[in-house]
Chains A and B, each alone.
Chain A
Amino acid sequence: MLLQQILNGLTMGSIYALVAIGVTMIFKSMGMLNVAHGDTIMLSSFIAITLIGLGIPFYMALILTIIAVFLYGLFSEKFIYRRLNYDSFTNLLIATIGMSIILRNGSIAIWGAEPRLFPNIFSDTPIIINGYSILPQNIGIILVSLLLMGLLQVFFYKTKLGKSMRAASTDPEGASMIGINVSLTRFLTFGISSALGAIAGILLAPMFNVTPDMGAVVVLKGFSAAIMGGFGNIIGAMIGGPILGIIEAMSATYISSAYRDVIAYIVLIGVLYFKPTGFLGKRTDQKL
């Protein structure tokens, strides 16, 4: 039973990790909280369903969805967020809020508010190990997630483009002085972040019904996961996701399923209070 809970926790945690990485990338790169990320996730699910409904083969539809959302990410950076020059936190927040409203209400207008079913990506038949029954879905999500995280690590640490993106994130001025096109890195960051959101959406959709609201809670969980792992770095997001997933699963089982989310949020506040990331004790007023 405990193992089952841990497994569930890791499954959800893997999705949270993907969401957390998505929001962390944008936070690190542009200093903005992309509250529309959840709606990106929702959008992906709807696009996928629509493509499948049009008769496109399943896995092709998924790939097209990821590409479409990647393009959407590029588009929104270039035509909307870039216009704001990334200098005002509150204005960027409003812009993402506006985007969120457009996506959510646009979805209602186009697809209606009725929940839809999403076909299973992984097979339905449970795998039996040692008397425990495990859904392929759980293993599948965890593996996909690990694979993606591995790919991202390779990309960011071993490829020139990835390293440039990290540099531009950490120090835009310095990076541009050594010839890195910071604008391009931001452009791509948004694209990649959105694509990650798309994958998260596709993994999430079979488990829950697809509704225009589905992104709202998961994006908050993604932010929580990012903070628990130490907001501002990708590795932190990767760790935070499973941590959050397991905390939630444990709370649901041993404390109360209604208050499961409350526990997760309280842990979040606790983390922020006892280990406020990044500026621990460091005063910035006198720098030579």
Chain B
Amino acid sequence: MSLLKIDDMTKTFGGLTAVKNLNMEINNHSISAVIGPNGAGKTTVFNLITGVYKLDSGDIIFNGESIVNLSPDEIVKKGITRTFQNIRLFKDMTVLENVMTGFHCRTECEILDLLFKKNKTKKEEAEILEKSLKLLEYIGIYEYRNEKSKNLPYGHQRILEIARALAAQPKLLLLDEPAAGMNSSEKDDLIKIIRKIQNDYDLSILLVEHDMGLVMNIAESIVVLNYGAKIASGTPIEVQTNDAVIEAYLGKGEDSNA
């Protein structure tokens, strides 16, 4: 029983085929990864899942329902959220406000409530505040809560992005190169956090990563892309010893992050 099923998905941009007939499945409560050399189409896959791009052909089925015609915010409400390769926090907001914004789609007070239903509004705001603080505490950046997010150290900014994505209560959390730019102690923290999240929350995680050490450490199943097509999939061991994978990486120049 799969959480997310990608069916024969293709996406071209002008003459370039970014993703070609991709088939993939993600199960409940799992941690999976998509890897591949630069330009293999990994981020495009994320953009297709989250509704940023429209598929040229194929389907994406989430929890039994096709999501290809939904807008990005509708897809979030269905239960898929993400982080970004180049961090996209709301820079002028504080850490706390960023997370509170994450709760937006799970709350409902509108202008009329604001003006005429004071108690309902107050109660909802208090809930958002409390949940946000708890989430910050859980993920370990509570002490920065009133800092402007742009002032945070880089590694903490990445963690904050994850917290914000968690606030939206996803069933599937997409992490786009969460370890990019981190030093090794930050990466260790990241691994701990990802494991903790996967343990405590009822969700699946799908990563795009270049750091092989991290991927092999956390992921239960891996899909390898090259030139937009899947060339291998399986457990970390299977993928590491797969000839096509080795050739793809060696052919392009070995990735130095492992």
| Residues of chain A at the chain B interface (Cβ within 8 Å) | 283, 285-288
Contacts and interface: CB of A to CB of B under 8 A. Distances in A.
B44 interface: yes
Interface string B103-121: 0000000000000000000
Contacts of B52: 283, 285-286
Interface in B43-75: 43-44, 46-47, 52-53
Interface string B76-98: 00000000111010000000000
Contact of A288 (B43, B46, B47, B53): B43
Interface residues of B, number: 13
19 contacts: A283-B47, A283-B52, A283-B53, A285-B47, A285-B52, A285-B84, A285-B88, A286-B43, A286-B44, A286-B46, A286-B47, A286-B52, A286-B84, A286-B85, A286-B176, A287-B86, A288-B38, A288-B39, A288-B43
Contacts of B84: 285-286
Interface of B: 38-39, 43-44, 46-47, 52-53, 84-86, 88, 176
A283 B84 CA distance: 13
A288 B44 CA distance: 11
A285 B50 CA distance: 12
Contacts of B43: 286, 288
Contacts of B38: 288
Contacts of A283: 47, 52-53
A142 to B, nearest CB: 38
Central interface residue in A283, A286, A287, A288, by most chain B CB within 10 Å = A286
A216 to B, nearest CB: 34
B94 to A, nearest CB: 22
Contacts of A285: 47, 52, 84, 88
B91 to A, nearest CB: 14
A171 B107 CA distance: 43
A287 B39 CA distance: 10
Name the 7 nearest CB pairs between A and B, nearest first. A286-B43, A283-B52, A286-B47, A286-B85, A285-B84, A288-B38, A288-B39
